[in-house]
Amino acid sequence: MPAMVEPPFSNPLFSSKISHNLKSVHCSSQAPNFLPIRYNNRVTTTACSCSAENVDPAPVLLPHSIVFSRNPNLSSDISNRTTKDRREVVRLAWEKLVRWSRSWRSKAKTDDVLERTNKVVVLGGGSFGTAMAAHVGNRKSHLEVNMLVRDPRICQSINKKHCNIKYFPEHKLPKNVVATTDTKAALLNADFCLHAVPVQFSSSFLEGIADCVDPGLPFISLSKGLELNTLRMMSQIIPRALGNPRQPYIVLSGPSFALELMNNLPTAMVVASKDKKLAKAAQQLLASTNLRISTSSDVTGVEIAGALKNVLAIAAGIVEGMNLGNNSMAALVAQGCSEIRWLATKMGAKSTTITGLSGTGDIMLTCFVNLSRNRTVGVRLGSGENLDDILRSMNQVAEGVSTAGAVIALAQKYNVKMPVLTAVARIIDNELTPQKAVRELMSLPQGNTMNDCGYPIQGES
């Protein structure tokens, strides 16, 4: 009878030798194969042929384990070779990636921008401004990094103790990082300016120093949020406040906690500018072995994601503070991501920006990690604390609190429905309790799940 045997493997990664061994168990129409088979303690020989003349009237199906019983080590040998072949494929793929990376780096220009840069000024003495000042200072020992601060105590601690006594008392700053309260001295002959002043104070601050700012000085904005009354982003605030619509502008954003930057932990961020050469220059200035910098031309997408993720982080914190569980957290953040994408794309942003490093990457960090100031505010709100008491106890600004109302006004302007972020704004305004907000969100109409994820309502009307 013909032994009906199916080869145990059909992976194209197998070597030709293994394939050749397996062919011996296939049927042939030209010459029958005889396979010794042990059955009921007797060794019999079975002919295998696909010709009609040799078909046994009472066929018996023999499993391949019986067929290979004469060589019990064959299956193990095939398995070992499969593992070896798989590892070889992985090794070759990795080596190809490394070769591509080395080739790309060898063709890329050297860090000529860093070589030409002699002075960088950082506006603001907060945690992130301090971390970026330290990072830039470590890029080149003879690079002068000036921090313009308003608190004399912080200024003195940076210059005498080489630390920011308020935010990083145990972290030493590079010796080329100095602080001053003198605006003219800080901005004189600066090649780049890192703006780290909170969004709600930026307009008045910049208007006060406008006379000292060179019209060609590139501003790299580290601030995230929307101006409450005007709904402007930093790309609109800075040129307007300085009275120079052509002020060179770059936005830096992405998943990055100041503490981890100070500890030199691997981080990845995005610089975005409408001027590709300017974005490239910022990349060359900031990129290092610990900080990976990608470039983008989607300024709106990077800024709106950076602003709205703070509001979503408050919502995530509320869910945590109310102990609503992981299911609720996942549903809420997924819905929030959709709402951010709906608004951003209506404003002209690219959806790929929102799903990328400066969008989803930053959202995940801010929503799920305890170091997030905005998430902390949400946790305390969900636990029943009063917002005013929460803000009074914090020594840093949670931008999501002031941004929430602006986000909803912006959503109304672009006619976009944002249930989760609207609920946050209502809670912050003390017009809705977290408990009632959850009930309202869960009772929204059940819609078509084939649309955007989360609460099944249309993102756009």
Annotated catalytic residues are: 309
**Residue 193: how many CB atoms within 10 A of its CB?**
25
CB 445 within 8 A of CB 456: yes
End-to-end CA distance of the chain: 70
148, 183, 281, 431 from 211: Cα distances, Å: 15, 10, 25, 43
Buried b (16+ CB within 10 A) or exposed e, 424-448: bbbbbeeebebeebbeebeeeeeee
| Residues ≥6 apart with Cβ < 8 Å to 9 | 18, 22, 78, 82
Cα-only R_g, the chain: 32
Q: Which amino acid, residue 292?
A: R
SS3 content of the chain, % helix, strand, coil (to 5): 50, 10, 35
Q: What angle do CA 332, 338, 339 make, to 5 degrees?
A: 85
379, 381, 387, 404 from 427: Cα distances, Å: 13, 9, 9, 10
CB 155 within 8 A of CB 186: no
Q: For residues 241 and 235, what is the distance between their CA atoms, to the nearest angstrom?
A: 11
Q: For residues 399 and 159, what is the distance between their CA atoms, to the nearest angstrom?
A: 29
